[in-house]
Amino acid sequence: VRVIVRVCACDCVRVIVCVPSLCEDLLSSVDQPLKIARDKVVGKDYLLCDYNRDGDSYRCSTEYRDLYFEGGVSSVYLWDLDHGFAGVILIKKAGDGSKKIKGCWDSIHVVEVQVRAGAPLPVQTGINNVNCFYLPNLGNMDMENKIRSTLNEIYFGKTKDIVNGLRSIESLPDNQKYRQLQRELSQVLTQRQIYID
């Protein structure tokens, strides 16, 4: 049995070929799979995206990445704003290709931190590392866990339910059973609600 997960990124290119004027709008609103590049000086991989700026890169807290992804590549790019800073956190993990299954997880987290004038600064002794102060707040924004649960339970669960609504392994001897199946399917599908705050 072959099951293929569709990749729609290449369709972007086809649309741009037809209508070149849409190029910028399309590329800024559709996320492409993250590309990996190699920093030969340090000997480490990093990820490419719109926000890359030469000389502004910062290595992400690898503790988080390794605990959740057991490997993978991550990059963080931060830049100053008038009243704070913003950043993008990129994570890419490809499956190891074992057991005839291919997969890839790409995360793009965009963050903006506003520092209000007069707010108390973290107490640090001779260290200039403001980023550490914000780490617990950024780390606790548990978007990835929610999305991962949603993917597992709702998206995959729902497509499986739809397949089982198209065909029944058990016999449907009469109309009554068919109507019952329809009712059950409707119930199951309405129960699977999505909650993303």
Binding positions for another protein, 103-162, rule CB under 8 A: 103-105, 124-127, 129, 132-133, 135-136, 139-140, 144-145, 148-152, 155-160, 162
Query: What is the rounded distance in angstroms from the CA atom of residue 131 to the CA atom of residue 139?
Result: 12
Q: How far is the CB of 62 from another protein (least distance, A)?
A: 11
Q: Which of 28, 38, 146, 34 is nearest to 90 (CA)?
A: 34
Q: Which part of the chain contacts another protein (CB under 8 A), choosing from 32-40, 76-84, 113-121, 188-196?
A: 188-196
Query: What is the rounded distance in angstroms from the CA atom of residue 23 to the CA atom of residue 10?
Result: 13
Q: How far is the CB of 40 from another protein (least distance, A)?
A: 26
Pseudo-torsion of CA 97, 98, 100, 103, nearest 10°?
Answer: -40
Residues 44-73 that bind another protein (CB under 8 A): 61, 63-64, 67-70
Q: Is residue 178 near another protein by the rule CB under 8 A? A: yes
Q: Is residue 176 near another protein by the rule CB under 8 A? A: no
Given the complex with another protein, which of 68 and 85 has the nearer CB atom?
68
Query: What is the rounded distance in angstroms from the CA atom of residue 156 to the CA atom of residue 192?
Result: 11
Q: How far is the CB of 10 from another protein (least distance, A)?
A: 11
Residues 2-21 that bind another protein (CB under 8 A): 2-6, 8, 11, 14-15, 17-19
Is the Cβ–Cβ distance between 104 and 33 less than 8 Å?
A: yes
Q: How far is the CB of 2 from another protein (least distance, A)?
A: 6
Residue 147, both tokens: 């999305």
Q: Is 187 helix (H, G, I), strand (E, B) or coil?
A: helix
Q: Is residue 165 near another protein by the rule CB under 8 A? A: yes
DSSP character for 117? T
Given the complex with another protein, which of 52 and 106 has the nearer CB atom?
106
Q: If residue 64 lies in a helix (H) or strand (E), which one and from where to where?
A: helix 62-69
